[in-house]
A = this chain, B = another copy of it.
Amino acid sequence: MEGVPHEADTVSVGEFTFECGEAVPDLELSYEAYGEFTGDNAVLVCHALTGSAHVAGRRRRGGTDTAGQARAWWDDIVGAGKAIDTASYYVVCVNVPGSCYGSSGPSSEGPDGEPWGTDFPPVTVGDWTRAQRRLLDRLGVPNLHAVVGGSVGGMNALDWAKRHPDHVDRVIPVATAARLDPQIVALDGIARRAITADGAWQGGDYYGGPRPEHGLAIARQIGHVTYLSKSSMSDKFGRRSASRDAARDSFPVDPAADFFPYRDVESYLDYQGGKFAERFDPNSYLYLSRAMDNYDLASGHESDADALAAFDGEAMLVSFTGDWHFTVSQAEELADAFRAAGARTAHHVVDSDHGHDAFLVEPDRVGPPLADFLADGVRGKSVTDTADEDGESEFAPVHTSLFG
């Protein structure tokens, strides 16, 4: 990031009324901005469920020590000379309200000087967009060249096209959908139950005491499985035993368990679940996953296409063949909605075994279409579109990767 301006700050944007009708007297938003604003080069990057504003750069300035998606989660994509080139674009990322990385949320200080806990108002994806709009106004950015986001960040990007159609030229929803399917809604709901059933959760009032870390780790493990594909898990872990037993005690076990191997896949998930439970706030997980489950592009409209009717920019959907959290089919439905709304649209399908995680771990396949779409729209050199291909053959890799 050398030579490129980088700003990381947390600012108050004043009283904020959420879509639920409840308000906070003083909404704080943590954001990072990279590059120089020239009037027409702003790119808003929307983070995923457990991400932060810290999208790129080795070190978080003045921030706390972070891990996972809180640590420069798209550093392979965003930076000087990278796909989202901070030498050309002014890149802004805002930690969403309800999260725990600097913006107001359940773990931040409420009016009584104590953490809000579950008195914090429920948040929606629409609230994220509205908060981002407030922040951009403050930064003096009226229009966006592009909004890009992956996973629920992609829903956030969709919401921009719906809510501010005249202020966004290009939208890039990555690995996302107009709404979650009931299978994923179910798994998210089960994950939340693991948190609230943890005795340490205490109705959300655990700050200063023991945290519901087992519940949060279980929630994360459920989520983690949905981020990987059947075949990537087979390739990565097989049925191998873990090489070290170190994490076996992450959860209580009984003596009978010792007869059976502690498998690599368990060890991996225990390690990841434990690390996540340390870095993330359990109430934030409840809040943000509810926002994701509840998001529906068509809400308030007749259809997805109707919701996008006023958008006359360009859209590039990016989806991944091995992703069962947000499927290629769901992205194709979105592409159809943009097409029906009259937007110039491309649906770029990436053949990848990495499941939903692909948008984070396949920068070599995500970067080129991103860069070219930012520069040249749907006519960008590396941008492909399902409408140009034979519909049948195009989806074949999904099946191979999941059932191979």
Contact = CB atoms under 8 A, between A and B. Distances in A.
Interface string A214-256: 1101100110010010100110111100000000000111111
Interface string A186-208: 11011001101111010110000
A199 B196 contact: no
A201 B230 CA distance: 31
Interface stretch (A81-89, A262-270, A335-343, A356-364): A262-270
A162 interface: no
Interface stretch (A64-72, A138-146, A321-329): A321-329
B215 A252 contact: no
Residue from the set A183, A189, A296 with the largest chain B CB neighbour count within 10 Å = A183
Contacts of A215: 197
- How many copies of this chain does one complex carry? 2
Contacts of A254: 118, 196, 203-204, 283, 286
Contact of A122 (B230, B260, B269): B260
A404 B328 CA distance: 10
Residue from the set A233, A238, A266 with the largest chain B CB neighbour count within 10 Å = A266
Interface stretch (A41-49, A307-315, A380-388, A395-403): A395-403
Given A197-B198, A254-B286, A190 B293 contact: no
B260 A293 contact: yes
Contacts of A228: 183
A294 interface: yes
Contact of A196 (B190, B234, B251, B260): B251
B182 A237 contact: yes
Contacts of A269: 186, 189-190
Given A197-B251, A239-B185, A399-B395, A230 B286 contact: no
Interface string A121-142: 1100000000000000000000
A294 to B, nearest CB: 5
A259 B20 contact: yes
A120 interface: yes
A403 B329 contact: yes
Interface in A329-387: 329
A290 B251 contact: no
A114 interface: no
A51 to B, nearest CB: 21
20 contacts: A179-B239, A182-B234, A182-B263, A183-B225, A183-B228, A183-B230, A186-B221, A186-B265, A186-B269, A189-B265, A189-B266, A190-B225, A193-B214, A193-B221, A197-B251, A197-B252, A254-B286, A257-B286, A260-B293, A398-B399
Interface of A: 20, 118-122, 179-183, 185-187, 189-190, 193-194, 196-199, 201, 203-204, 214-215, 217-218, 221-222, 225, 228, 230, 233-234, 236-239, 251-257, 259-261, 263, 265-266, 269, 283, 286-287, 290, 293-294, 296, 324, 327-329, 395, 398-399, 402-404
